[in-house]
Amino acid sequence: MSYYITKTVGGHSCGKFALTSIVRFVIIGGSIIINSLKGNLQMTCQKTFMANEGNIKREWLVVDATDMPIGRLASQVAMILRGKHKPTFTPHADAGDFVIVLNSDKAVLTGKKMTDKIYFRHTGYVGGAKYTQAKHMMEKNSDRAVEHAIKGMLPKNSLGRQMYRKLKVYKGVEHPHVAQQPREITLVGKRGGSK
């Protein structure tokens, strides 16, 4: 298929060029061959990949939180939930993987966060503000503390809520997702021992 133009061409999506003579475009496959009075010029166009529900391939990953600072764990897991570890990352699509976090009770808080960090929630009733010290949260609901840290590093919109649903956090080493055949990965930043 050939196209003829007689005007100056500039800012084409495959590259910038300017031609003022009569030009013939021939599109073959993904290449554009330009025939002009001065000779041939060949350009190759590549389309940007855009992820959608039809072409996303998700897998299940297992992460061990033993001796891992909660913040480092949360930042890396949030990156996996968003899909930023894949070359097919698309900002407006949920292209991330499912993540199973085990041993959340063995995750650590650095510095004086065990005593100084306060978790806030509200029951919805008047005067229903509840404050929980990080030490008590890690003893009773360590899975909730890890979920809270990861959720804070996801987008604050409907896309972020959709990504958050792919997170599964458990206190021990047992989980009910064996049928999904999860692959175990190791994250960077594990401490030598808990302090």
Q: Provide the 8-state DSSP code for 192.
A: S
The string of pLDDT tens digits covering residues 131-175 is: 999 999 999 999 999 999 999 999 999 999 999 999 999 999 999
Q: How big is the chain, counted in residues?
A: 195
How far CA 41 is from CA of 14, 29, 31, 106, in Å, comes to 12, 16, 10, 62
Which pLDDT band, with edges at 50, 70 and 90, does 25 fall under?
A: low
- How far apart (Å, rounded) are the C-alpha atoms in residues 165 and 169? 11
Burial profile 124-147: b = 16 or more Cβ within 10 angstroms, e = fewer: eeeeeeeebebeebbeebbbbbbb
What pTM was computed for the model? 0.76
Query: How does strand 129-133 pair with strand 118-122?
Result: antiparallel
Can you give the pLDDT at residue 24?
A: 57
The string of pLDDT tens digits covering residues 52-107 is: 999 999 999 999 999 999 999 999 999 999 999 999 999 999 999 999 999 999 99
